[in-house]
Amino acid sequence: MPNHADHSNYSAGLSKSEVLESVLLSYEALSSDTSNWVANLANCSSLVWHAYHSLGIKVNWAGFYVLNKEVEGELILGPFHGKVACQTIKIGKGVCGAAAQTKETQLVANVHEFPGHIACDGDTNSEIVVPLVKDNVTFGVLDIDCLELNGFDATDREYLEKLAQLIIHSCTW
């Protein structure tokens, strides 16, 4: 890869698995330069955003909420790609809060049917949230929103959970 930005370029015609595998490889390469969580999560948001857009999947938000060290029981907005979003989310509230609390991926086919879903953007219809967990502690969540219903499936879950593992082991929090 001659330039950093080339990591955001995905060839046309690749399958979802191929594109998401490429996200993992790019994330590993980029995070080998630094363990700073802001830098790594910022570039990761870009990788994920461009990956889904290359597949024609209408992702309208891709980014992170991290544990707020100043307010117990709260997540705070981290690096992201997309429109302005809610700044804080209580652990246990919404899809992000549920992922943080249960430490399990939330794959939501229709956000309007998820009790307590927090609508940062009324145009969102589906969502996947993967917790970032190390030593049984949630450090944050990866949140991806889609304009379509059923925007994500088991393949997304599989690769994004692998990405979460790479993130949690590459960052100093």
Count of residues in contact with ligand SME, rule CB under 6 A: 15
User: Within 62-107, where are the H helices?
Assistant: 94-102
Give me the 61-100 binding string for ligand SME, x by CB under 6 A, dash otherwise.
x-----------------------xx--x----xxxx---
Closest CA to 132 of 17, 37, 8: 37
List, in order, residues 6 or more apart from 165 with CB less than 8 Å away: none
Question: Which residue of 76, 118, 147, 166 would you call a contact of ligand SME, by CB under 6 A?
Answer: 118
Contact pick of 49, 62, 127, 142 for ligand SME (by CB under 6 A): 127
Is the Cβ of residue 7 or residue 132 nearer to ligand SME in the bound state? 132
Regarding 147 and contact with ligand SME (CB under 6 A), the answer is: no
Residue 111 phi, psi dihedral angles, 5° rounding: -65, -25
Cβ contact 89:166 at 8 Å: no
Question: Look-up: residue for tokens 């589906």?
Answer: 126
- The residue ranges that bind ligand SME (CB under 6 A) are 61, 85-86, 89, 94-97, 117-118, 120, 124, 127, 143, 145
